[in-house]
Amino acid sequence: MTRAGATSCCVVLAALAVPSQVRADDASTSPAGASAPLTVPDIPALTALGSTASDIDRPGSTSEIGAAVSNLYKGGTVQSGIAIEINLRAFGLGKDWTFLEYQRDWWRRALSQSAISIGTASSANAMDMSVTDIRTALGARVVLWDESDPLLDESYADAAGHARSACRDRPVTEKPACEKAAYDTYAAEMAHWKAPRWNGRGAFVGLAAIEAFRGGALKEHDFEASRVWAAGGLGIGDSFHAAAGITWVAADHAADDVTVAARLRYGNARFRGTLDGAYFVLARGEAAKGKAGVGFEFRLTPSTWLTATAAAEVGASDSPDIIDLLSSIKWGTSEKPSW
């Protein structure tokens, strides 16, 4: 494998090497609900703001980063509704790394898969309802380890090399489709090829800080809150996965929130059943001490998962009410499993 070829395969498939053991795009997919710290968010800045965005700007070069960031401040005010995710590769990091270097060094993989995020959202000023504040969050998602990364499988190098060789003489416009077809065919024929473990090890950290700009003015701002998510998981045999996590929220003029959680999951590549629990170590609200829940996920198609969860508060009363548990059942579909 040439250096150029190895580098290109890393760049092309880096987007597929998404951490999957201890993650969820929406905390509601966790049986323990939005408080569960096992959901290190994909885009911490937006999660910290409690915001969603259908159009997220993902610049691929330093010039594109500059253009994206320039949209944050226009007409003398901070703009609302901005969502930006910047992978460190956009700064040129790792573009000359070989495939073997990526496989060998965990820090190269961590840098390749981690990203910085920026988000803005408008909200009414707490002291003056006639003023609209622009809440701005800066976040980071750090992938410390991800055993489900398909690039760690050595047979991937064989399949990717075969695909490039088979399509070497094709026109540039035809190469992507040709290489994908050759790659899929080769991988299917290789006896030693295997998909990444559904219950592999993983360790992830998310960080975010929120600043509120009064009326969108740069010179009038106050710190609102900071958030930290951390989670890790490991596989037990072929059928079980255990995980633990913690979140910490520090807000201005308020007590900290600290929540810990644990999860045990049984399943395989098509089905997962979950027992989930979260305990509020330090919480501003004293009504409930935690949550416990159950859930399952079933793969209907390669890109569609059916999900169901139910959760109940614990600690506020002697025991969870089974009626409350059953009434909290939520059904839905997702493009991917929650972790």
**pLDDT digits over 167-218, tens only?**
888 888 888 888 888 887 777 776 655 667 788 888 999 999 999 888 888 8
- In order, the DSSP letters of 108-140 are HHHHHH-EEEEEEEEEE-SS-TTSEEEEEEEEE
**pLDDT at position 15 over 80:** no
Give yes or no for a contact between 339 and 233, defined as CB atoms under 8 angstroms apart. Answer: yes
Other beta carbons within 10 Å of 194: 10
Mean pLDDT of the chain: 78
- CB count within 10 Å of CB 304 equals 12
Q: Which of 293, 261, 263 is nearest to 278 (CA)?
A: 261
- pLDDT tens for 17-45 read 333 333 333 333 444 443 456 668 889 99
- Residue given tokens 């590549």 in the structure block: 269
Identify the band that residue 103 occupies on the pLDDT scale cut at 50, 70 and 90.
confident
Q: How many other CB atoms sit within 10 Å of the CB of residue 183?
A: 21
Strand ranges, E, within 160-303: 202-213, 221-236, 240-251, 257-267, 271-282, 290-301
CA distance 166 to 168: 6
At 4, the pLDDT band (50, 70, 90 cuts) reads: very low
Tokens of 281: 């170590």
Its pTM stands at 0.74
How large is the average pLDDT for residues 92-121?
87
